[in-house]
Amino acid sequence: MRPVVTVEYLTRRVRNTDPMTRDQVAWSGVDQRDPTWADIEQALRDIDGRQTFGVQLQATDDTVLSVGWALGWYLCSTLPDMNWLVNPNFVPAEPTVGKVRPERNWVSLELVLQAASYFTRIGGRDPSLAWVPFGSLGR
């Protein structure tokens, strides 16, 4: 039987508004302990790349689901295994042989919410989604 894994921390990466440190650190972390699904879903929906840059969910087993923002899309990865959620329908504008464009890991909010729901309820990566190791994404 799989041990129960729960999300222990929700960390929002938000714009640093502290006038003393914002020149040195553009983003700061705001932690929330024992978040509800409503807290997590709202945090993910708030990611806009301007005020909120990303969200991290840390589970009791020390795994992390990290979600960031890229030009209107989302980047979603797991730690410590460094796997990225990828868009299974991505078709590069110019097909290349033997090279995967980085945009393959730009995903929709819908996929991010599905990944976060699974991570929150069960723990780990949702096996019904497409995940690839970080090293397999072309740069």
Reported confidence tier of residue 77, pLDDT bands at 50, 70, 90: very high
Are residues 99 and 132 in contact, defined by beta-carbon separation less than 8 angstroms? no
Q: State yes or no: pLDDT of 29 exceeds 60.
A: yes
Q: Read off the pLDDT of residues 85-139 as tens digits, 9 standing for 90 and up.
A: 998 877 655 555 555 456 778 899 999 999 999 999 999 999 999 999 987 765 4
Q: State yes or no: pLDDT of 4 exceeds 80.
A: no
Q: State yes or no: pLDDT of 1 exceeds 50.
A: no
Q: Give residue 102's pLDDT.
A: 60
Q: What is the 3-state secondary structure (H, E, C) of the chain?
A: CCCCCCEEEEEEEEECCCCCCCCCCCEEEEEEECCCHHHHHHHHHHCCCCCEEEEEEEECCCCEEEEEEECCEEEEEEECCCEEECCCCCCCCCCCCCCCCHHHHCECHHHHHHHHHHHHHCCCCCCCCCEEEHHHCCC
Q: Give residue 128's pLDDT.
A: 96
Q: Read off the pLDDT of residues 51-73 as tens digits, 9 standing for 90 and up.
A: 888 999 999 999 999 999 877 88
Every domain of the chain and the residues it spans: 7-136
The residue among 95 and 19 whose pLDDT is bigger is 19
Indicate the pTM of the whole model. Answer: 0.81
